Structure 1
Amino acid sequence: MTVPPVSKQKLRLIYYSKELGSPNNSLCDWINRKTISSSRLNFGLKINKHHDHRHRKVLVMSQKQIDPNWAWRPYAPSTDQPWNLQRVTHLYRRLGFGTDWETLNAGLSITPDQLVNDLVFASPESESFQIEMKAMSRAMVATGNPHGLASAWLYRMINTTNQLQEKTTLFWHGHFATGAQKVQDAFMMQQQNELLRKHALGDFNEMVQGISKDPAMLLYLDSATNRKTHPNENYARELMELFCLGEGNYTEQDIRELAKCFTGWEVRSRRFRFNKYQFDTGAKSFLGTTGELTGEQAVSHVLSQPTAPIFIAQKLVRFFVMDEPQPSAELVAPLAQQLREDNFNVAKTLKVILGSNLFFSDLAIGMKVRSPVELVTTLLRSLNGTSSMDLLTAGLHDLGHSIFFPPSVKGWDGGRTWINSSTLLGRANLVYRVLRNEKTQFGGGTLTEYASKQELSSLTDVADRLIQQLFAVPISNDIRDEIVSSSTEQFSQREEQLRSLIHTFTSLPQFQLS
């Protein structure tokens, strides 16, 4: 007997009575309220949970009350803010894609600072794993299908020993969004992915210099046809607006002048080539400087602007700490200063962010919506799982998170935009398909065998483990008991009971929060 895909009726029956209240409420509204509710923050402000616009206003107010020096000071466990399993799992969810029970308990046995340091400055992946990934990527490139690259990357996310490097590569993939649907070349898309991985935790200056000459980016933003007689302004605009400075920190004249610096940058035989005959050698005036600047010098000048480290710090905080509201310039000022002083070293700044008071506070825990990629990778990594990568790739496409195929140069909006009535059901049904797929294993075997290895003798034991390991927000005992009871009543075979249990738990609105 199979576990049926989740339906709206099932969601309403199980969750409204216990958690959401009136059936007139929406599951999506519940998630929205959770992501913006600050009732757990202890900042002395109360929110009327029935008025979304007031939530946003109060969160902005509460953010202004946060002392930036306190926010980025190293987290020190206390009676009120203990170093416990919840915070260890929070770190692994945000820094990477979750981890197994044994690793979580090992992390709990050392100090927060030591664990953060070990994860931020982790050893490189083993040589054998890197060889395996190169072979897999080459095979996917040979097919000419960029969707195959997504399967290889998902495999890497689930199996890498250096989670932060891969999570940050995913962040930069959204930041420097480049769509395979326009590039139409798997090799160039893979080369860009390797470029982002190489610089993911390193020097942001070098990354921007590299991405500016990246063939996939040059084709995607039409910079490969940038000629001195007909400058193309696309890359110049996005370099300032989306990649380095943010809106309002440049003028249209700056765009026109900056575009001249990139004339003659071409793609030949899938490689970058500088065509000196198409380069504008005249003086350019932008962002307060004038000179016969090259493209490389222009990139350096853009990054020298005082708003650059603020913009990057805000993007990092939004991705790793909280979806909304947009972190203020005042809040990220210490991070921006460190970025500038460390020559835009990403790893050093992330160590501050991931080891901070703010990161381990209730303002961060459970205050992000899981992306579809995080949804499936966290489930599998946490339970030592493997599955069909092609199945995952197809499912993520249906949920609007098709890696290598961002919706636009702005990437994915993320946050609450991941959730609507369609995608909420789609998420649950993707988990259903994963649980039923013949290639899916947990710990190298069935769920029954995995539970036995973990010494989880009852369904309640399994439920408690799932709650501890997968959820950022509390699940009441009533909901837990009802799900356990439902799984027991519907199915007699242990394997089907476990599938039903996991499927129903991961269909909960609470599971959508990280």
Structure 2
Amino acid sequence: MPRTLESVDPQWAWKRFEPTNDQPWNRKGAAHLFRRAGFAATPEQLRNAVDSSPESVVQQLVQNRSETPEFIDEITALSAASLATGNPRRLAAWWLHRLLNTPDALREKVVLFWHGHFATGAEKVEDAQLMFAQNELFRTSGLGRFRELVQAVSRDPAMLIYLDSVTNRKAHPNENYAREVMELFCLGEGEYTEEDIRELARCFTGWEIRRDQFRFNKYQHDTGTKTILGEEGIESGEEGVDVVVNQPACPRFLCRKLFRFFVTDAEEPSDDLIQPLADELRANDLEIGPTVQRMLSSNLFFSELAYGRKIRSPIELSVGLLHSLEASTNIYTLEEGLRVLGQELFYPPNVKGWDGGRTWINSSTLLGRANLVRQVLDNEATRFGRGSLTDFCRANSWERGEQFVRGVVETLFAAEPSQSVQRDVATLVDNTSLDEERRRRDALHWLCSLPEFQLG
């Protein structure tokens, strides 16, 4: 088994994982998959997954279309109520509710990925309806063809406002969006020139908004031909996007970002490791779904090079905790806690989105994460299943201290706490001189404040 990404054979890395006696399909692997492909799993989901195969579980996650009519009605009513306020922060609470309750967790995880990739901030857009429309675009198109997604984002009113495309006129081209298409969205640094940016910006002249809808203003469009990345005779914005996404650098850039999001952000993958994924993505006409499925099914994904090798974002930490324990809480309290920790939905810090990785953790945010868990556990609105944490533990045979610790660690943790800590927590749970519900919540808070819990 390789110990670093540098020593990984790409051919081995992207082969489909086949369980063996040395590397079995078990609760550890299933919990890892659900953490990365969604927002963790309940004990029941883990039991069902282990009874199946990794291949079928991944396939179900990627191809899931299981949102029930009841869920759709509920989420539609909540979105309407949030939009009626005109407040994007109310919309953030709606999305948190969706993250916690969706039966299609991978799709929501992909929406979160694109929200960070095509980062758009409500503080500048100042329109909840436009932010909602962009969010829905990521939901309907996030696993489809990247070319079509970039074309749609280029016409998206929220993006047009955020990166100043609405001021892009033939007499005074605005280069902001063209620059980010190349640098942050499609190619990465070093794959284009300043002249390429200027020429692409000319392609987008006249792209504006009227009554909250995209409109092409032919009178403000530069009709001259442009040369972009060596391609001559380009005229329209659509043609400009096609030239950019057709570059060999595009699938490599995308696969590298997907790798950091789904596999590990602890090490940078080499070009040799990424290239097979990029080749497959290009062969699939830049369709994202098959590449995500390949990553989540691979030997590398189910190896020690990926287990616990990613720091949880505040959303992954809090939503994962609640989902694993079938818990619900006051969404507005949760949204406020996430804002304090630096991951407020619809308010990314800048056009680069959230840096992620080690930037999530410092002495202040580590304390803040523990405080958020405490706030959730102490909130009167927090329920576990249909009742208390004690009821949930009884239903899952987590009654005694040792059972409780083992159940929490197997379900919630990517890296196991020390045996001494586990024994101390088990002793707390078994201390009958304390209130049963209180000692379980205190024990859960203790475990979820550990450094190991920050790893996903």
Q: By the TM > 0.5 criterion, same fold? A: yes
Which residue of the partner structure matches residue 162 of structure 2?
A: 220
Percent identical among aligned pairs is: 51
Q: CA deviation at 1:488?
A: 5.4
Quote the Cα distance in structure 2 between the aligned partners of 1:130 and 1:204. 26
1:487-514 deviations in Å (ceiling 9; x for gaps): 5569610010011011000000000001
Q: Which residue of 2 aligns with 1:481?
A: 423
CA distance in 1, matches of 2:140, 2:274: 26
The aligned runs of 1:358-437 (5 Å cut-off) are 358-437=300-379
Match of 1:84 in 2: 26
Give the distance between the partners of 1:197 and 1:123, measured in 2 at CA. 12
2 CA distance for matches of 1:276 and 1:328? 45
Within 5 Å, give how 1:132-211 maps onto structure 2. 132-211=74-153
Residue by residue over 1:412-449, the C-alpha shift from the partner in whole angstroms, topping out at 9 and shown as x without a partner, is: 00011100000000000001110111111001111122
- Asked if residue 43 in structure 1 is aligned to residue 7 in structure 2, the reply is no
Report if aligned partners of 2:401, 2:427 keep a CA contact under 8 Å in 1: no
Partner secondary structure for residue 356 of structure 1: coil
Q: 1:459 deviation in Å?
A: 2.5
Partner Cα distance (2:76, 2:60) in 1: 25
Whether contact under 8 Å (1:281, 1:292) holds in the other structure is: no
Task: Tell me what 1:311 maps to.
Answer: 253
2:270 partner amino acid: S
Aligned to 1:94: 36
Paired with 1:256 and 1:152, the residues of 2 have a C-alpha distance of: 39
List aligned pairs for 1:231-242, cutoff 5 A.
231-242=173-184
How much has 1:202 moved relative to structure 2? Answer: 1.2
What secondary structure is seen at the aligned counterpart in 1 of 2:440? helix
Deviation at 1:76, TM superposition (A): 0.9
CA deviation vs aligned residue, 1:22-67 (integer Å, no higher than 9, x gap) = xxxxxxxxxxxxxxxxxxxx436xxxxxxxxxxxxxxxxx323211
Matched, 1:462 2:404: yes
Contact in 1 for aligned 2:14/2:298 (Cα 8 Å): yes
Structure 1: distance between partners of 2:397 and 2:366: 32
Which residues of structure 2 form unaligned runs of 5+? Answer: none
Note if 1:500 corresponds to 2:418: no
Query: In structure 2, what is the equivalent of residue 243 of structure 1?
Result: 185
- 1:263 aligns to what? 205
TM normalised by structure 2 equals 0.98
- Distance in 1 separating the partners of 2:397 and 2:405: 13
Matched-pair contact (CA < 8 Å) for 2:228–2:240: no
Q: Which letter maps to 1:335?
A: L
| Partner of residue 69, structure 2 | 127
Give 1:395's aligned amino acid. G
Give 1:382 deviation, angstroms. 0.5
AA partner of residue 408 (structure 2): L
- Measure, in 1, the Cα distance between the counterparts of 2:81 and 2:64: 28
Q: Does the 8 A contact of 2:404 with 2:426 survive in 1? A: no
Tell me the SS of whatever aligns to 1:285: strand
Unaligned runs of 5+ in 1: 1-41, 45-61
Contact 2:27/2:50 (CA < 8 Å) preserved in 1? Answer: yes
Shift in Å at residue 134 of structure 1? 1.8
Choose 483-492 or 427-436, whichever is displaced more: 483-492
1:15 corresponds in structure 2 to: none
Instruction: Flag the 1:486–1:456 CA change in 2: closer, same or farther, 3 A.
Output: closer
Q: Deviations over 1:220-275 (max 9, x none)?
A: 00011100000000000000000000000000000001000000000111111110
- Partner of 1:290, secondary structure, is strand
Q: Please give the alpha-carbon distance, in whole angstroms, between the structure 2 residues aligned to 1:476 and 1:431.
A: 20
The residue type paired with residue 235 of structure 2 is L
Tell me what 1:285 maps to.
Answer: 227
Q: TM-score with structure 1 length normalisation?
A: 0.87
Q: Distance in 2 between matches of 1:194 and 1:253?
A: 34
Q: C-alpha offsets along residues 69-121 of structure 1, whole Å, 9 cap, x if unaligned?
A: 11000001112211111000000000000111111011001111111111111
Contact 1:221 1:234 in 2 (8 A): yes
Q: Which residue of 2 aligns with 1:272?
A: 214
Partners of 1:491 and 1:497 within 8 A in 2: no
**Residues 133-185 of structure 1, C-alpha deviation per residue, up to 9 Å, x if partnerless?**
12211211111111111111111111111111000110000000000011111
How many Å separate the matches in 2 of 1:301 and 1:131? 41
CA distance in structure 2 between the partners assigned to 1:440 and 1:471 by the alignment: 21
Figure out how many residues of one structure are paired with residues of the other and give that number.
456
Retained in 2: the 8 A contact 1:314–1:328? no
CA distance in 1: counterparts of 2:178 and 2:171, whole angstroms: 16
Change (3 A) 1:432 1:490: farther
C-alpha RMSD of the superposition: 1.3
Q: Distance in 2 between matches of 1:405 and 1:452?
A: 40
The match for 1:69 is 11
Amino acid aligned to 1:443: G
Q: For residue 225 of structure 2, what is the amino acid of its counterpart?
A: A
For 1:422 and 1:237, locate their aligned partners in 2 and report how far apart those are by CA, in whole Å: 34
Indicate the larger mover: 388-397 or 473-482: 473-482
Amino acid in the other structure paired with 1:425: L
CA distance in 2, matches of 1:316, 1:402: 21
Task: State the 1:456 CA deviation.
Answer: 2.4
**Cα distance in 1, alignment partners of residues 238 and 433 from structure 2:** 64
